[in-house]
A and B are shown apart, each in its own frame.
Chain A
Amino acid sequence: MKKRSFWIQVVWGQLKHNRMALFGGSIVLLMFLLAALAALLPGDPAAINIKEALLPPGGAHLLGTDDLGRDVLLRMLYGARISLLVGFVAVGISTLLGILVGALAGFYGGWVDALVMRFVDIMLCFPTFFLILAVIAFLQPSIWNIMIVIGITSWMGVARLVRAEFLSLREREFVLAARAVGASDLRLIFRHMLPNALSPVLVSATLGIAGAILTESALSFLGIGVQPPTPSWGNMLIAGKQTLGYAWWLSVFPGLAILVTVLGYNLLGEGIRDALDPRLKD
């Protein structure tokens, strides 16, 4: 308990003076609330009502309706859940993979390190987005597949970060002391080194969420992401494309949502980085 509060204190103490980071954090928090709100609101995001098709924003439908008469606001709230889900699960997968691979390479060094990091280099050679496209083309484009594929194509950065941290931690005296006391490799890795290597990972994960949300939107925009009728900001964006001339609200609001959310995560991530930076060596 006390340990966690100490950690949050350090970050929060720095973060509260950083207005951009606070702004980003508020956006992130707001998106969480909105996503939670979606389940509480009455109405079905898939309810079709042709009589009310393409209503402009205002009135009963705050953000208007689409060509099938579905409420845009409601669909966007459900879309927020998809975005959050994709962001967190995909980044969770990539962070976990990155930590495992990076820890392995950094802890054992030598030929293990060389082998693992060459594999990382190879993975980095692929243009990630086209790799995802190619993989999704073979699989069913479902939301779970997307999260998994984004996760397993974006762990390399985390792996490099963790490896670098581990290489320097390995020579630190408290790690040597733990080894001298007889700590096993697993204990050294998970009890002593990993908790001291997590700061940059936290930053990269926060920024990674923004990237994952963007990737999901792009995939959905291309029609191989989240499949209709499940609403996601990306597929709402593409659905509004045909009617952009006379029903701008179908594309503009989801587009803005993506922009604002990604901005929020980026600002928050950079704020956390600034907050942790002077303490990275501590």
Chain B
Amino acid sequence: MTPLLEVHDLAKTYRIPGKSGIKPAQLKAVDGISLQIAAGETLGLVGESGCGKSTLGKLILGLTPADRGDVLYRGKNLARLSDRQMRPYRRQLQMIFQDPFSSLNPRMTVSETLAEPLIIHRLCAPAQRQQRVAQLLDQVGLESAAADRYPHEFSGGQRQRVSIARALAVEPELIIADEPVSALDLSVQAQILNLLREIQLEHNLSYLFIAHDLAVVEHVSDRVAVMYLGKIVETAPAGELYHQPGHPYTEALLNAIPQPDPSRAGRPAPLQGEIPSPLNPPSGCSFHPRCPYATELCRQQEPELLSHGDNRQVACHHSDRVGHNKT
């Protein structure tokens, strides 16, 4: 079966212009990432801030041009398309952004925001537009009276619902959700996650769900990919990954989830130190300075992303040792 979306060896390097006395540097935000998403599937993408998750989302949608690599949507390579050629595919791939306070145009009413995709893609007759807007609002649990209001009149959760409605307006097949709940209150997070889930079941949507903590992703994902410094270090079905991490970084992230039950304490200490600067990544395995399993091999040679079993891929020299020292 061909996956709905296939990303192959996607890479993006930002050039940081050198200030006086400092030579220009290269920041590998996304460094050769490959992944697949099947129809109706949710792929969770996890990693610390600054690891390139959001850049990956923008690359897939062509909002940022990629340096190399392919984005195959139903076999069609989107990475080579011009803006104009890309437009029809924008109906199929949509994005929900992290910050509900900056992702809506403050000078446009909700109805103007929601009608825009309908106008651009000529999705419905002008006479039916308001009806469709009301329908979209209903779908995300907002009253139709919201249509005439401005974004600043809404709470964060409500704004995020408007963003979701905008993404749904074109009836896409895949939505890239870039940390859609991390800017929201905990109680609102659950509502939004449930909403995303309902919409998925209703429309058979696929999600690329980007987040920086595994607890949120666990809820919604079928499969999870863990990203570190622009690379994927592990992918596995969500259940397996949570039960038995294969990469020391995954393990460390799992240990960072607060334990409601203190008697289950005793896992290795959570991650030490900061994420290294992507301007000057460590030699070999980029995780080795923070890794409890690191050896000389890790310092010298970068591990490849290799299959472990049917559904799991791990990039670690010592994956067989990972995850066995928990109680």
**A contacts, CB < 8 Å to B:** 2-3, 6, 172-174, 176-185, 187, 191-192, 195-196, 282
A182 touches B102 (CB 8 A): no
Q: How far is the CA of A102 from the CA of B107 in the complex (A)?
A: 20
Q: How far is the CA of A196 from the CA of B94 in the complex (A)?
A: 24
- The smallest beta-carbon distance between A112 and chain B, in angstroms, is 16
Q: Which of B32-40, B113-121, B219-227, B245-253 contacts A (4 or more CB under 8 A)?
A: B113-121
A196 touches B105 (CB 8 A): yes
9 A–B contact pairs at CB < 8 A? A177-B95, A177-B103, A177-B166, A179-B63, A181-B116, A181-B117, A183-B120, A191-B108, A192-B108
B97 touches A173 (CB 8 A): yes
- The smallest beta-carbon distance between A200 and chain B, in angstroms, is 15
A6 touches B94 (CB 8 A): no
Taking the complex as formed, is B152 at the interface, i.e. its CB lies under 8 A from any CB of chain A?
Answer: yes
With beta carbons under 8 angstroms apart, the residue of A179, A180, A192 that contacts B105 is A192
Counting from the closest, the 6 A-B pairs by CB-CB distance are A182-B90, A173-B103, A173-B97, A195-B107, A181-B117, A174-B105
- The smallest beta-carbon distance between A173 and chain B, in angstroms, is 4
B152 touches A282 (CB 8 A): yes
Taking the complex as formed, is B130 at the interface, i.e. its CB lies under 8 A from any CB of chain A?
Answer: no
- The smallest beta-carbon distance between A4 and chain B, in angstroms, is 11
With beta carbons under 8 angstroms apart, the residue of A2, A181, A185 that contacts B120 is A181
Q: How far is the CA of A80 from the CA of B103 in the complex (A)?
A: 46
B102 touches A174 (CB 8 A): yes
Residue of A with least CB distance to B121:
A182
- The smallest beta-carbon distance between B110 and chain A, in angstroms, is 12
Residue of B with least CB distance to A172:
B102
Contacts of A192 in B (CB 8 A): 105, 108
Q: How far is the CA of A42 from the CA of B120 in the complex (A)?
A: 57
Residue of A with least CB distance to B98:
A173
Contacts of A282 in B (CB 8 A): 106, 152
Q: How far is the CA of A181 from the CA of B116 in the complex (A)?
A: 8
Which residues B114-136 have CB closer than 8 A to chain A? Answer: 116-117, 120-121
Q: A176-B63, A180-B95 are in contact. Are A3 and B109 (CB under 8 A)?
A: yes
Contacts of B91 in A (CB 8 A): 182
Taking the complex as formed, is B163 at the interface, i.e. its CB lies under 8 A from any CB of chain A?
Answer: yes
- B59-73 toward A: CB 8 Å interface, digit per residue (1/0)? 001010000000000
Taking the complex as formed, is B203 at the interface, i.e. its CB lies under 8 A from any CB of chain A?
Answer: no
How many residues does chain B have at the interface if contact means C-beta atoms less than 8 Å apart?
A: 33
Contacts of A182 in B (CB 8 A): 86-87, 90-91, 117, 120-121, 170
Residue of A with least CB distance to B100:
A173
Contacts of A6 in B (CB 8 A): 150
Contacts of A180 in B (CB 8 A): 61, 63, 90, 93-95
A2 touches B95 (CB 8 A): no
B109 touches A178 (CB 8 A): no
A174 touches B120 (CB 8 A): no
Q: How far is the CA of A183 from the CA of B97 in the complex (A)?
A: 17
Q: How far is the CA of A187 from the CA of B87 in the complex (A)?
A: 14
With beta carbons under 8 angstroms apart, the residue of B116, B150, B169 that contacts A178 is B116
Q: How far is the CA of A178 from the CA of B103 in the complex (A)?
A: 9
- The smallest beta-carbon distance between A69 and chain B, in angstroms, is 55
Contacts of B83 in A (CB 8 A): 185
- B37-61 toward A: CB 8 Å interface, digit per residue (1/0)? 0000000000000000000001001
Q: A180-B95, A182-B91 are in contact. Are A196 and B58 (CB under 8 A)?
A: no
Q: How far is the CA of A112 from the CA of B164 in the complex (A)?
A: 35
Contacts of A2 in B (CB 8 A): 109, 148
- B234-274 toward A: CB 8 Å interface, digit per residue (1/0)? 00000000000000000000000000000000000000000
Contacts of A176 in B (CB 8 A): 58, 63, 95, 97, 103
Q: How far is the CA of A181 from the CA of B171 in the complex (A)?
A: 11
Q: How far is the CA of A152 from the CA of B61 in the complex (A)?
A: 41
Residue of B with least CB distance to A192:
B105
A174 touches B94 (CB 8 A): no
Taking the complex as formed, is B218 at the interface, i.e. its CB lies under 8 A from any CB of chain A?
Answer: no
Q: List 10 additional contacts besides A173-B102, A177-B103, A179-B63; criterion CB under 8 Å.
A: A6-B150, A177-B95, A177-B104, A180-B93, A181-B90, A181-B169, A182-B90, A191-B116, A195-B105, A196-B107
Residue of A with least CB distance to B90:
A182
Q: How far is the CA of A183 from the CA of B169 in the complex (A)?
A: 14
- B155-170 toward A: CB 8 Å interface, digit per residue (1/0)? 0000000010010011
